[in-house]
Amino acid sequence: MTKVALSFAFLALAAPAVAQDLTFSPEATEACFAAGGLAETCIGASAQACMVENEGGYSTVAMGFCFDREWQYWDAALNAAYGTLRDQRAAIDAENADLGVNVPSSADALRDMQRAWIAYRDRRCDYERSLWGGGTGGGPASIACLMSETAHQALYLEEQLGGE
């Protein structure tokens, strides 16, 4: 085995250990919103804090980890809001049906909108990755895009709940 191949093998084995040492907390994002921050300021705040607080936080592996953890945070918020909103819309659809009101199903429209949004998000973030021309920054850029798009959609769905 050549020295180069051996080095790559070592790095491949070391990467998971590095990722295991990283920590993430959604505190910075939550504190930003609690202080009245705007979405554009608060989305990504915890990922940035993660990169600053972890040794080697601006490595490709660490950036990917930090963006991924905040993406998971926003994905959980999105799924919670979507589930509640879907139930709310289904109840309104049932009420309308009981009253004999003939209107399109808002629960179906919500589902269709969400499916279309997922396809849009994925294509948009694929495009973002393509801008890196195969460079190592493409991975973190793609995950940062997924995080940001998911956060915006989660906030939109939460807004649709109207204070519930």
Identify whether 39 is part of a domain. no
User: Could you say which DSSP state residue 25 is in?
Assistant: -
Q: pLDDT tens, 7-55?
A: 334 344 444 445 568 999 999 999 999 999 999 999 999 999 999 999 9
Identify whether 134 is part of a domain. yes
Looking at residue 75, which CATH number applies to its domain? Answer: 1.20.1270.180
Its pTM stands at 0.84
At 113 the three-state DSSP class reads helix
Residues of the chain with pLDDT under 70: 1-20, 163-164
- Output the DSSP codes for 122-153: HHHHHHHHHTTTT-TTHHHHHHHHHHHHHHHH
Identify whether 2 is part of a domain. no
Identify whether 57 is part of a domain. no
Identify whether 79 is part of a domain. yes
| Cα–Cα distance, 158 to 132 (Å, whole number) | 33
Identify whether 117 is part of a domain. yes
Identify whether 77 is part of a domain. yes
Q: How many domains does the chain have?
A: 1
Identify whether 13 is part of a domain. no
Domain range enclosing 107: 63-161
* H helix or E strand, kind and range, residue 156: helix 138-161
